[in-house]
Chains A and B, each alone.
Chain A
Amino acid sequence: MAETKKVHFIIERQDGPNSQPYTEEFEVDYRPALNVVASLMEIQKNPVTKDGKKTTAVVWECNCLEKVCGACMMVINGKAQQACAALIDHLEQPIRLSASRTFPVVRDLMIDRSVMFESLKRIHGWVDVDGTWEVHNDAPRQNPKTATTAYEISRCMTCGCCMDACPNVNRGSEFIGPAPIAQAHLFNLHPIGEYQKEERLDALMEKGGLASCGNSQNCVQACPKDIKLTEYIAKLNRDTNKQALKSLFNK
C-alpha cells in the first residue's frame, strides 16, 4: 500500500498572553480539499507532534468555516488570512501558522480583536433609528448603485486581515485601521445614516484617525472580501477635508 501523503505544519504556540512563543511541528494525513482549519481539527483528535511527542491540541478560533464569520483569521505562511479558506493544495509546505501579532495573543493562534469592535463605537457604526417599533413610514428608497456599494462594504466580517497588513496599525499606534474607517463610509452612504455623517467625520479627524493612514495600500490587497478599502479611505479623506474647511469658514 502506498504511504499516505502527509502535510507538514510548523505552528507557533504560546500558552498565554505573557508567555514566550515556541514552535511545534505536526503532520496531518493529506486528503483532497483539505484546509488549515480541517488540519487543526485532525490535530485535536490526536495531539501528537511530528516527533511523536504528546502535546496539547492547538487553540484557535473558528465558527462558520465558509469565510463569512471572520473568526479564523491567522497568519499562514506569512500572510494573514482565513484559515478555513486556506486550502492545503494552494500552500507551500511546511505550512507555518502563527497568531496575528497585530493583536494581543490569547493563546496559540487565538487573538483578542476586541479593539475592532470598540472602534465601531468610535465611528458611530450604526444608523440612528427611533426604535424597533413601527413608524408607519417606509425607509427611503435607495439608488441601487449606491446600495451595491454599501453591500460591498457591509460584507466586512471584522476579521482583521487589513489591520494585520497595515504597517501603521500596531500596538504602539493609535491608528484605528482600515476596517472601521470603511464602516464609517458605509453608514454615511445610508440615507438615514447620513444624518450622523458629521459625527463620523469628526471622529476620523481625531488622533489615530485618517491622518494616521500612510497610504501603503496593503489593506486592499489583504481584504478577503475584496472591499475597495483604499477607495473609501480616499473618499473619506475628501469628506473630512471638506468638513474641516467648512468648520473653518463657519468659525
Chain B
Amino acid sequence: MKKKIIVVGGGLSGLMATLKICEAGGEVELFSYCPVKRSHSLCAQGGMNACMDTKGENDSVHEHFDDTVYGGDFLADQTAIKGMCEAAPKLIKMFDRMGVTFTRTPEGLLDLRNFGGQKNKRTLFSGSTTGQQLLYALDEQVRAWEVKGAVKKYEFWEFIKIIKNKESVCRGIVAQDMNSMEIKAFRADTVILATGGPGMVFGRCTASTICNGSAVSAVYQQGALIGNPEFIQIHPTAIPGSDKNRLMSEACRGEGGRVWVYKDGKPWYFLEEMYPAYGNLVPRDVASRAIYDVCVNQKLGINGENKVYLDLSHIPADYLERKLGGILEIYSEFVGDDPRKVPMQIYPSVHYSMGGIWVDAKHNTNIPGLMASGECDYQYHGANRLGANSLLSAAYSGTVSGPEAMRWAKEGERGSELTDEELAKAAKECREEYEAILKMDGSENAHELHHELGEVMNKYVTIERVNKDLDYCFDEVKKILKRWDNIGIGDKSNWANQEGMFARQLRNMIIYALVVTRAARMRDESRGAHYKREFPTRDDERFMKVTVAEYDQATEEPKISYADFDHSLVKPRPRNYAVAKKE
C-alpha cells in the first residue's frame, strides 16, 4: 500500500514537501484555505539567498552560513543553518530547471543583488515578485503530479486539529470544507503542517489575511511545543495602511535605496551615519529600531508623523523598472506617488515570525507523526531573519520534511491506524464545537475583537518591549479571550459561513498572542528582534537558549522553559553592524 501523507498548507514549503513525497512514491492529500497558487509565499518580493559567487566577490557558503548565524544573533541551530546554506545553490538550479523567470545578466546568467546583513551579492530574484515566481514553479510541478494521481488537493478546506491514536501518535486530521461546511476526519501515515506565520495576531502587518497562525495554535493546544515565539520580525520598510501594511522590499535598499529624514533642514541619512559598515543594508531588526528611535524618541518623522523616507529617486528609472518593477507598481497604485520621482514614505511593520512550532533537525515536532516546516516552524532564523532567507528556509525545509515524512511512514513507531470510531469521534467533537460557535449570540463582534487584539499586540509586543507593558498586555489579551465567549454570530448559514470559521480562528489567535507576550516578558535581555531598554544587551549566559512554550490546559496560558540548542560550529561574538563583521 502506498504511504499517505497529509500536508496542510500549500505555500512554498508545503509544495516542496509534496513534491519530495511524490518522488519517493507516496501519496499526498494537500489541504489549503485557498487555491495553493494564492498562498502567502507569493508576497515575498526581494529574492532568495544562495551562494552562487558569480559576481567576482569570492562569496562562499561558509560566509552565507556565518552571516545567517550572526544576523540571527546566535539563537538558531547552527547545523541546521549549515545544511540550508549548502543546499541553497542546488535549490536555485532546481528552480531554474523548472522555469522560474529569474532576472538575468546581459550574458543570460542568473543575476544577483545585495541584501541586508550580507556584504556579498547573494540574492537571486525575479524582478520584485520572487516569491510569486518560486511558488508558481512548485505549483506547476505539483499540478503535474496531480494529473498523475499522486496528489489530491483539498482547496478551500480549513484544518481544525490533528487526531492522535491511543499510543498518542498523530495519525490524521479533522478539516472543514469552507463551502459546504462539512467537517470530516482523515487518516494519514504522517502529517506535515506548513501553514505559515501568525501575522494576523498583530492585526495590521505585511501578511496576507490568511496568515492567522490558527493551525499552529490548534496543535499547540494539543501538546505541540512552540520555540522562540517572542521573536517577531518587524520589517523596516512598509507602507502603513488601515487595512494592511504593504511591504516595500528590502531590495529597494539592496538596489541603492537610501533611508532619511530631515534634520536641521537637511536630509539626514541616519542609517548610513549610525552604521557606516553596512549603511542602509543593516539587518531588519537594526533598521527598524533606528527608524523607531528617529520617529518616536527624536520626533524627526516626516511632518512629525511616524514615517521616514525611502528614496530611490536618484536611481535611473529603467534600472528600477527592471530590478524592482512589481513593487513600484504597488506603491504608485496604493499611495498615488511615483517612487521613481519622489521618495517613498514608509514605517516598520510586523512581517515574519522567526519562532514557531519546535522541531528537531528533521522537522519532527514533539508529537510523533506530526511535522512542521516553513514559517510555521522555528528552525533557521534565531532572533532575527536575514532578508531573502525566508524563501530559502521555506523551500529547504520542505526538502527535509517531505523525505522524513516518508521515512516515518515506513519505519516510524506509528502504533495503530485510526479506527472508524476514532475518526467519527474526532469529527463529531469538532462539529459540536463549530455548532456551538454558530449558536453564540453575545454582543461582541469577532472582527471588532480581532481589531482590538491587533492594536494591543502592535502597541506592546513589537519593536521596543517594556516588562510592565507586557504584563498589562498579557492581562488585556486575557480579557479579550474572556470576551470571546460573548461573541455573537450573525450568520447562521450552513454554506460558506466565513464568520463562523473566523470566530474559531480568532480564539486560536488570542491563545497564540498569550504565548508571544509571555515569552517576550520572560526574556530579560536584548537579542535580535527582541529589544528591552531595561536589558539593553545580549545575555548569553542566561538566554542563549531556545524559549519553549507548552500549553497549560488549566489556565490556557503557556508554561515557558528554556532548552539548549546546537551552536557547535561558531562561537558567539558581539553583533555590531557599525563595523565590518569579523570572524
Contacts and interface: CB of A to CB of B under 8 A. Distances in A.
Partners in one complex: yes
Interface string A9-48: 0000001100000000000000101110110010011110
Interface string A34-66: 110110010011110000001111010111111
B108 A143 contact: yes
A158 B447 CA distance: 28
Interface in A183-211: 186-187, 190, 192-193
B143 A71 contact: no
Given A126-B140, A190-B99, A70 B90 contact: no
Interface residues of B, number: 70
B205 to A, nearest CB: 11
Contacts of A38: 241-243
A151 B495 CA distance: 39
A69 interface: yes
Contacts of A157: 38, 42, 132
Given A45-B447, A154-B101, A68 B34 contact: no
Nearest to A60: B498
Nearest to B19: A132
Contacts of B43: 64, 66, 68-69
Contact of B93 (A110, A117, A139, A147): A139
A63 B34 contact: yes
Contacts of A57: 447, 490-491, 498-499
Contacts of A148: 322
B243 A37 contact: yes
A7 interface: no
Interface in A127-149: 127-129, 131-135, 138-139, 141-144, 147-148
A12 to B, nearest CB: 15
B97 interface: yes
A65 B334 CA distance: 10
A193 B97 CA distance: 9
B103 A69 contact: no
B141 interface: yes
A128 B136 CA distance: 14
Given A44-B447, A132-B20, A33 B34 contact: no
Nearest to A108: B496
A69 B38 contact: yes
A62 B140 contact: no
B445 interface: yes
B521 interface: no
A240 to B, nearest CB: 21
A127 B98 contact: yes
Contact of B143 (A33, A126, A155): A126
Interface of B: 16, 19-20, 23, 34-35, 37-40, 42-43, 90, 93-94, 96-99, 101-109, 126-127, 129, 132-133, 136, 140-141, 143-144, 146-147, 155, 179, 208-210, 241-244, 246-247, 322, 326, 329-330, 333-335, 399, 445, 447-448, 451, 490-491, 493, 495-496, 498-499
7 contacts: A37-B243, A61-B34, A70-B38, A132-B20, A132-B23, A138-B96, A158-B35
